[in-house]
A and B are shown apart, each in its own frame.
Chain A
Amino acid sequence: MITSNDQRVLFIAIGKQLRKNIRCIAFGGTAMMYYGYKDETKDIDLLFENEPDRAEFIRVIETMGFSEGSPFKIYIDEKLRDPHRPLMYMREDARFDLFVKQIFHTVTSPNMKEDKFARHEFKGTHQLTVDALRKEFIVMLKSVTERDKDFEDILTIIKKDTQFNWQYLIDEVLWQHENGDTWVLMDTIKMLHELRKYMFVEQKYLKMLTGKLGKKQAKKK
C-alpha cells in the first residue's frame, strides 16, 4: 500500500529525474488521498496527455525499480480487451496504473481539464505537474473501472461529503455518453442502484440516466 507521504516522496523523486516537463491527471486513490478521504491506496492512477509524456514517466520509474506487470486479475475481461487499458508498473506493494489520453472509453472533457480540485507541482530541473480531479469525476471513473474496493471508495466519498454535486456528476456522465463512451451510462446506473441500498439518492438523477438509456435503445429498435 502507498501512504500519502510515500506518494509525496515518490513524486518528488520522479520530478527530480525528469528530462522534460510533464503534466498528468490524478484520479482514483491518489486524488482521494489529496482530498483527505483516505490514508493509503493500492495504486497510483495517472492519465497522461500524450504517449511521449507517459514514456518519459515510465523511463524514470523504471530506474527506481518499477517493472511492467500484468493487468489480469485486476480488471474484468471486458476492460482488458479495451485498447485504452493502462500500462501497469509495480514494485513490491506499490503500483502505477498509467493511462494515456483516455481511461478506457472515457475521454478528458473540457470540465475535467479546467475544473480541478488541486494542482501539485513537483520541481526538480524539470517539473511534474499533477492535477487532482474533482470528487464527482473520481466517482464517475470509479464506476467505470469497477475494480475491488472501487465501490467502497465511492461510498466513502459520498458519505463523507455533504457538498457532493449530483447534478455535476450526471451532466458529466451524459457528456461522456454523447462523446462516445458507451460504458459510462450503464456503469453509473449500476453504481447508483447499488448506492441506493446504503444511502438516499434522489430518484430524479437515476431517471435522467435511465431516460437517456431508454432513448438510445428505442433508437436502436
Chain B
Amino acid sequence: MAVQLRNQDDILRKLEGLHTIETAMIALGLKRQSTLNLLCKLKKQQYVITSGGGKRKRLYRISQLKQRPRDPGMFDIINKYSPHMKVAEWYDHQVHGVYGPEEALIDAIETESFRLILASLRLFKHIKNWKKLYKLANEHGCWNKVGALYDVARLFFKVTRIPSRYYHIITDKWVQLSQLRKLNFPDIAQKWHVFIPFNINDIREV
C-alpha cells in the first residue's frame, strides 16, 4: 500500500542515502514506475545523483541538500592521481579556473597535512609545467619542500624529470613538511634542508 507522504521534504527525509530502485520502492511503498518517475523528478531538481547502469546496478544517491555540479579542487586532483591511497576531504575545496597537479601540489604542501603530502607524491608523475611549479613554489616560499618531495618520490615511483636549471636549493633554513621533526631519508633531508616526516613503510601505502 502506498505510503501517504506529505510533501517533498518528507520524501527526501525518508529516502536520504544510497538506494537501488528496489530499496527505494520498499521505502516509499510505491510501484516501480511511480518510483522511477519520482526519482527522475528529484534528479532534475539536483537532489539525486545516479551512478552505475548498463552491466552494473544503477545506484541513486539521494540527499536532502541539493547536490550541485562541482569544479575540481585539491582533494579531487590528489585522489585522481593517487591510485591506492585516497584522502577524505575535511572541507569542500573547489577552484573555478585553471587548476592542475602543479597547483594541487603546492596547496597540499601548504596544508602541512601528513597524509595529504604523502598522497601528493604521486603528482610528480603528472607535472608538465615545471616553470609554473617553480614560480608558484617561490611565491609560497616552499621550493625546498618541493625539491625534497621530488627526490623522495623518484626513489619509489616513475616521475617526470625536473629540468636541471630548477634543481637547486633556494634557502639554507631548515623547514618542516608537517608537525613531525624527523630525519628520514637523511641524504635528501640534508640536501634540501627539509625534515621529511614519512618513512619507507608510509610510502608503501601510496
Contact of B96 among A12, A116, A117 (CB under 8 A): A12
Contact of B97 among A4, A119, A124 (CB under 8 A): A124
Stretch at the interface among B61-69, B115-123, B193-201: B61-69
**Quick check: B98 and A117 within 8 Å, CB to CB?**
no
The chain A residue with its CB closest to the CB of B97 is A123
Contact of B92 among A4, A8, A11, A118 (CB under 8 A): A118
Stretch at the interface among A32-40, A59-67, A90-98, A170-178: A32-40
**Quick check: B96 and A36 within 8 Å, CB to CB?**
no
Nearest chain B CB to A130's CB is how many angstroms away? 10
**Quick check: B91 and A36 within 8 Å, CB to CB?**
no
Beta-carbon contacts under 8 Å, A1-49 to B? 4, 8, 11-12, 15, 34-37, 39
**Quick check: B65 and A37 within 8 Å, CB to CB?**
yes
**Quick check: A121 and B95 within 8 Å, CB to CB?**
yes
**Quick check: A36 and B98 within 8 Å, CB to CB?**
no
- B92-106 interface mask toward A, CB cutoff 8 Å, 1 = contact, 0 = none? 111111110000000
The verdict on A205 contacting chain B, using a C-beta distance below 8 Å, is no
The chain B residue with its CB closest to the CB of A160 is B64
In the complex, what residues of B have CB within 8 A of residue A122's CB?
A: 96-97
**Quick check: A119 and B65 within 8 Å, CB to CB?**
no
Main secondary structure on B side of the interface with A = loop
Contact of A120 among B63, B65, B96 (CB under 8 A): B96
Main secondary structure on A side of the interface with B = mixed
Nearest chain B CB to A22's CB is how many angstroms away? 14
- A105-128 interface mask toward B, CB cutoff 8 Å, 1 = contact, 0 = none? 000000000001111111110000
The chain A residue with its CB closest to the CB of B139 is A21
The chain A residue with its CB closest to the CB of B107 is A121
**Quick check: B92 and A121 within 8 Å, CB to CB?**
no
- B56-91 interface mask toward A, CB cutoff 8 Å, 1 = contact, 0 = none? 000000011111100001000000000000000001
Beta-carbon contacts under 8 Å, A148-172 to B? 159-161
In the complex, what residues of B have CB within 8 A of residue A12's CB?
A: 96-97
Nearest chain B CB to A173's CB is how many angstroms away? 22
- How many residues of chain A have a CB within 8 Å of chain B? 23
**Quick check: B93 and A36 within 8 Å, CB to CB?**
no
Contact of A15 among B46, B91, B96 (CB under 8 A): B96
Which of B9, B95, B98 counts the most A-chain CB atoms under 10 A from its CB? Answer: B95
Nearest chain B CB to A34's CB is how many angstroms away? 8
Nearest chain A CB to B112's CB is how many angstroms away? 12
Contact of A4 among B64, B68, B93, B99 (CB under 8 A): B68
**Quick check: A11 and B96 within 8 Å, CB to CB?**
yes
- A130-159 interface mask toward B, CB cutoff 8 Å, 1 = contact, 0 = none? 001000000000000000000000000001
In the complex, what residues of B have CB within 8 A of residue A116's CB?
A: 91
In the complex, what residues of A have CB within 8 A of residue B97's CB?
A: 12, 15, 121-124
Nearest chain B CB to A12's CB is how many angstroms away? 5
The chain A residue with its CB closest to the CB of B94 is A120
**Quick check: B91 and A118 within 8 Å, CB to CB?**
yes
In the complex, what residues of B have CB within 8 A of residue A132's CB?
A: 92
Name 19 extra pairs, CB < 8 A, besides A8-B96, A119-B94. A15-B96, A34-B92, A36-B46, A36-B63, A36-B65, A36-B66, A39-B66, A117-B91, A118-B91, A118-B92, A118-B94, A119-B91, A119-B93, A120-B95, A120-B96, A121-B93, A121-B94, A123-B95, A160-B64
What 9 pairs between A and B have smallest CB-CB spacing?
A123-B97, A36-B65, A36-B66, A118-B92, A121-B95, A160-B64, A122-B96, A119-B93, A120-B94
